[in-house]
């Protein structure tokens, strides 16, 4: 897990505005609607990243992150091709927004 943590931290440093990758390969996900998991809300630092990786490895194998101010947010995420499906998943996961990777746009719920 340590190697994966270091790879994700390097990706985060290069992409502070946000990224979404399939793990463990760390290949970019570039299309679809991203929905963060309720289970990984407010995950910060190395401990938060470990939790996100653990949850992602049990579910979607997809991790996302972005920097807001001084904090870097980590999330286990799901990616949906259908906007209405993503919206429903966002509501179910108590999210305030979902993100369109193809258009780089946020949709507030």
Between β-strands 27-28 and 71-80, what pairing exists: parallel, antiparallel or unpaired?
A: unpaired
- The residue among 9, 65, 18, 17 whose CA lies nearest residue 37 is 65
CA distance 90 to 109: 8
What is the reported pLDDT for 27? 98
What is the reported pLDDT for 78? 98
Mean pLDDT on 93-102 = 97
pLDDT digits (tens, 9 = 90+) for 33-63: 999 999 999 999 999 999 999 999 999 999 9
What is the reported pLDDT for 97? 97
pLDDT digits (tens, 9 = 90+) for 58-88: 999 999 999 999 999 999 999 999 999 999 9
């Amino acid at each position: 897990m340590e190697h994966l943590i270091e790879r994700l931290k390097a990706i985060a440093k290069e992409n502070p505005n946000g990224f979404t990758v399939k793990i463990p390969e760390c290949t970019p996900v570039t299309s679809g609607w991203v929905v963060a998991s309720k289970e990984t809300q407010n995950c910060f630092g190395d401990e938060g990243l470990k939790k996100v990786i653990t949850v992602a490895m049990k579910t979607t194998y997809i991790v996302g992150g972005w920097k807001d101010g001084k904090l870097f947010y980590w999330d286990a995420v799901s990616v949906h091709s259908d906007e209405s499906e993503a919206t429903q998943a966002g509501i179910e996961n108590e999210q305030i927004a979902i993100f369109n990777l193809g258009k780089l746009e946020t949709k507030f719920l």
